[in-house]
Amino acid sequence: MARGFAIRPMPGFTFIAILCFFMLYLPVSILVIYAFNGAQSIAVWGGFSLRWFRTAMVDTDVRDAALRSFEIAAVAAFVATTCATMAAIATTRTTPYRGLTFKYAFINQPLMVPEIVTAVALLIVFSRIKVWTGYSGLGYLMAAHTAFCIPFAYLPIRARLENMDLTLESAAADLYATPWKTFQRITLPLLWPGVIAGFMLAFVISLDDVVITEFVKSGGQDTLPTYMLGQLRRSFTPAMNAISTVFLVISVVIVTIFFFISRKKD
């Protein structure tokens, strides 16, 4: 009897787990299916059609918002990854020094404050600066996005640095390489997957942001998520499902690539 006794399973756990996975994917799947609905309303199924993708694509508001989203995400992710890489190098492989814990806390701070609070804070400060300087371009959104992207870029880069083999760097130093040369030829090539992973996370996080963007944006600066939020308040058509589907595909592709990059290190 003891032989047939499995110690791992718990009664009902597998059922709940499968149910959870099912429930996680069901609503999103329905959303995607209805993006291909030929009917005018979302209530009835009118056969397979791509008309809502066409409707969304020819809508200049959607196109502008999408382009703006990508522009902001690209700039924010690039700057955040660069800063995060430098900061990660500055905070790893060192004996603890005064200010190290402070740096950790500082860099991870955007993760710890509720988004709505940061959004309100930025609204207050940026609206003042907008009045003072007269500048109301995309710079504010880019700065805000960069700030909250830094911790997301920082985490995978730091993890990679900490798991890295130190002997190669020591070898380079033994062969009279300058610290810069060592970084360029040894550290950076080894760090690269972490940097790419960090960039991707930052990009997705920026692309997905609703709350901070909603509060910081000036008139006519809708990104795709804030455009959708505005539409949800009025009426919604299957075009929303089409936009969401494209958005989902982009996120899933980026996350899948990220998954395979970060898995390789084992």
Partner 1 sequence: MSRASDVAETAHRRDIRNRWLLSAPALVIIFFAAIGPLFVVLLYSFMVKGDYGDVKYWQFSTEGWFGVLFQRDIFDDTVTLADANIQIFLRSVRLSLMTTLATLVFGFPTAYFIATRPQRTREIWLFLITIPFWTNLLIRTYAIMEVIRNEGVVNSILLKTGIIQEPVQILFTDFSIMLGMVYVYLPLMVLPLYASMEKLDFRLVEAGYDLYATRFQVLRRIIIPLVKPGIIAGSILVFIPALGAYVTPRVLGGGKNLMLGNFIELQFGQGRNWPLGSALSITLMLIVMAALLVYVRSTSSSGASHG
User: 1 to 30, contacts with partner 1 by CB under 8 A?
Assistant: 5, 7-14, 16-21, 23-28, 30
Q: Taking contact as CB under 8 A, which single stretch among the options 54-62, 168-176, 191-199, 236-244 is the one that binds partner 1? A: 236-244
Q: Does 147 bind partner 1 (CB under 8 A)?
A: yes
* SS3 per-residue string spanning the chain: CCCCCCCCCCCCHHHHHHHHHHHHHHHHHHHHHHHCECCCCCCCCCCECCHHHHHHHHCHHHHHHHHHHHHHHHHHHHHHHHHHHHHHHHCCCCCCCCCHHHHHHHHHHHHHCCHHHHHHHHHHHHHHHHHHHCCCCCHHHHHHHHHHHHHHHHHHHHHHHHCCCCHHHHHHHHCCCCHHHHHHHHHHHHHHHHHHHHHHHHHHHHHHCCHHHHHHCCCCCCCHHHHHHHHHHCCCCHHHHHHHHHHHHHHHHHHHHHHHHHHCCC
Considering only residues 112, 166, 180, 235, which one is a binding residue for partner 1 as defined by CB under 8 A? 112
Tell whether residue 99 is a contact of partner 1 (CB under 8 A): yes
Choices 57-65, 155-163, 164-172, 251-259 (CB under 8 A): range interacting with partner 1: 251-259
Contacting partner 1 (CB under 8 A), which of 207, 221, 222, 242? 207
Among 222, 225, 239, 242, binds partner 1 (CB under 8 A): 225
Q: Does 114 bind partner 1 (CB under 8 A)?
A: yes
Give the residue, chosen from 82, 136, 218, 237, that forms a contact with partner 1 under the rule CB under 8 A: 82
* Min CB(100)–partner 1 separation in Å: 9
Burial (CB count within 10 angstroms: exposed 0-12, middle 13-18, buried 19+), residue 141 = buried
Q: Minimum distance between the CB of residue 71 and partner 1, rounded to whole angstroms?
A: 17
CB of 211 to partner 1, least distance (A): 5
Q: Which stretch binds partner 1 (CB under 8 A): 58-66, 121-129, 169-177, 186-194?
A: 121-129
Tell me the C-alpha distance between 240 and 185, whole Å.
48
Shortest approach of partner 1 to residue 192 CB, angstroms? 18
Q: Is 240 in the site for partner 1 (CB under 8 A)?
A: yes
Considering only residues 149 to 188 of the shown chain, the ones binding partner 1 according to CB under 8 A are: 150, 154
User: Which residue number, 196 or 248, has a Cβ lying nearer to partner 1?
Assistant: 248
Using the rule CB under 8 A, is 232 a contact of partner 1? yes
**Unique residue bearing structure tokens 């149910």:** 19
Q: Report the nearest approach of partner 1 to the CB of residue 117 (Å).
A: 5
Q: Is 253 in the site for partner 1 (CB under 8 A)?
A: no
Q: Is 156 within 8 Å of 194 (Cβ atoms)? A: yes
Residue 50: CB minimum distance to partner 1, A? 19
